[in-house]
Chain A
C-alpha cells in the first residue's frame, strides 16, 4: 500500500471561475490511498470546485492536483477512467423518461465506447448495486417519479454499479430523509469494506458519516484542517469555519460538534 501514489496530492492549488471568483486558494494537502474521505465545509467553501478540478472539469489557475499520481490538468482522461462520480443534485435533469435501471446502468455504460450495449454482467452489477441501497423493487420504475431521497440512492447505486478505484460523491445525502441517509451510509460503508476502493464524499454534515470515514478535509476556500476525524474537532477551528455559534460538546465520551446549519457532528474520541 505504501508504494502506491497518494489518492490526492494538491500543491498550491488555486482555482478561479471565469467571473473572477477565486473558489480555492493556495490549497496544499496529501491524502493517502486507500481511504474513505469526507470533504466538509460551509456552502460556497469550494468543495464541489475541488472535485471538479480533480476531474479536469475545471483547470487550476495556479499549482497542481494529482489523483493517484495523475496530474488533473494533463492526464484527466486517465483520471476519468478511474473515477465514478455522482454530481451534486441540481446537476441532474428529470426531463428524460428513464427507468431506474437505465440510470444505474449508466454507471457502467458510460465507461464503454459507443454503442454501449449492456451485457448480462452489466445488468447483474446494476441489480446488485440497487440492492445495496435497498431499492431492488424500483428496478423498472420511472426515475423522474421517485422522491428526492430515492433518486439520491439510485445515483449512489449508479456509482456502486460502476468500476474504478475512486468514487467521488458530491453531497449524496442532500434532500434525503433520515432513513435514506442511513441506507446510503450503510451501502457505502459496506462497499468500502468489501472492495479495494477509495471513497471521496462531499458533505456539509459530518454527523451521519462520522463513524465510517477515515480522513476528513475541512475547506473554506483553503485548507482549514486535514486528518482523522478527531483532529478536526477543535473548537477554535470549527468556530473559524462555521462562525462563532459553533460549539463542541462532550457527552458519554463522544465529541459533538454543533453548528448553526449542520446540527450535530459526533465522532469517537
Chain B
C-alpha cells in the first residue's frame, strides 16, 4: 500500500505538484494563520476567502460582458481581499478585536452576496471557475497555482522573519507600542493586508475549503497548548502538513476530497488540543 503510494508520487507530476503545494500551504498557514489567531482574527481568514470569491466573480462578469476584458478574476480576488483587510484594519486601529470582527462579518456578507448576484448574469460555462475558488482540488493544480503559492509562501516567510516582534507587539499592546514610538498602526495594516492577499491567492490555488481547513484550526490548536511564539509557528506547520498529507493519502483509500479529509483532521486537532489543555490544567 505505502509502496504503491510512493511509486505513484515518484512517477506522477500531479502528485509532485500536490505534495509541493501541501508543503507551501503549510508554510502559509504557519506564517499567516498564526498571526491572525494572535490578533484574535481567525475569522478574517474565512471572510477574505469569501471576499476572493466575490472579487473573482466580479472579474469574470467584467470579462464576460466585455466591460473590462483585462480584469482578471485573480485581480478581483486580490482587490476584494485588500478591501476586507483595510476595512478590518481601520475598525481595529484602536486595537479592539471585537470591532474588527464586525467589519469582517459585514464585508463577508457583502462579497458573498455580490458573488451570488453576479452568477445569474454569467454564462454557465464560467460558473465552474467561481466554484474553483470555493472547492479547489489539490490534485488539479496548474503551474500558475504553484507559482502563486511559491510567491505567497516566500513573501510571508520574509515578512515574518523581518517583523515578527512588531506583529507580536501590535497583537499584545497596540496602544503601548505606539506610545513607545513604534509605528504600530503601520505594522497593523501591513500584517492584515499581507495576510489577506496571501489568503486570496491561496484560495485561488487550492480553494476556500482547504484554506479554512488549515489556516484556522491548526493555529488555534497550537496556540492552546504551546507556550512560545516560535513553537506555535512550528506547531501550525506540523499540524497543517500532517492534515494535508493524511488528506492526500486518505483520498486514495476512500473516495473523498483531500481537502475535506484535511479539514476534518485539522478540526480534530483543535478539539484534541482543548482536551489536552483541560486535562493538564487539572493536575
Residues of A within 8 A of B (CB): 52, 55, 57, 77, 80-81, 83-87, 91-93, 95-99, 103, 106-107, 109-111, 114-116, 142, 162, 168
Contact = CB atoms under 8 A, between A and B. Distances in A.
Contact of B180 (A97, A99, A110, A142): A110
B162 A91 contact: no
A57 B174 CA distance: 11
Q: Is the contact region of chain B dominated by helix, strand, or loop, or is it mixed?
A: helix
B123 to A, nearest CB: 46
B162 A115 contact: yes
Contacts, number: 87
B175 A110 contact: no
Contacts of A98: 168, 172, 228-229
Interface stretch (B33-41, B55-63, B66-74, B246-254): B33-41
Query: What 5 A-B pairs come out closest when comparing CB atoms?
Result: A110-B180, A85-B179, A80-B181, A96-B38, A55-B179
A110 B169 contact: yes
B223 interface: yes
Nearest to A109: B165
Interface size class of B (residues with CB under 8 A): 20 to 34
B221 to A, nearest CB: 13
Contacts of A80: 178-181
Interface centre among A80, A86, A106 (most CB of B within 10 A): A106
Given A77-B181, A87-B176, A115 B165 contact: yes
B173 A93 contact: yes
B157 interface: no
A142 B165 CA distance: 17
B61 to A, nearest CB: 37
B185 to A, nearest CB: 10
Nearest to A85: B179
A226 to B, nearest CB: 24
Given A87-B179, A92-B173, A98-B172, 20 more contacts: A52-B175, A57-B175, A80-B178, A80-B179, A80-B180, A83-B180, A84-B180, A87-B173, A92-B172, A93-B171, A95-B38, A95-B223, A96-B172, A97-B227, A97-B229, A98-B168, A106-B176, A107-B180, A114-B165, A115-B162
A116 B181 contact: no
Interface string B151-186: 000000000001101101101111111111110000
B95 A97 contact: no
Given A80-B181, A116-B165, A85 B176 contact: yes
16 contacts: A80-B181, A83-B180, A85-B180, A86-B176, A91-B95, A92-B172, A93-B40, A95-B171, A95-B223, A96-B172, A97-B226, A97-B228, A98-B172, A99-B227, A110-B177, A115-B162
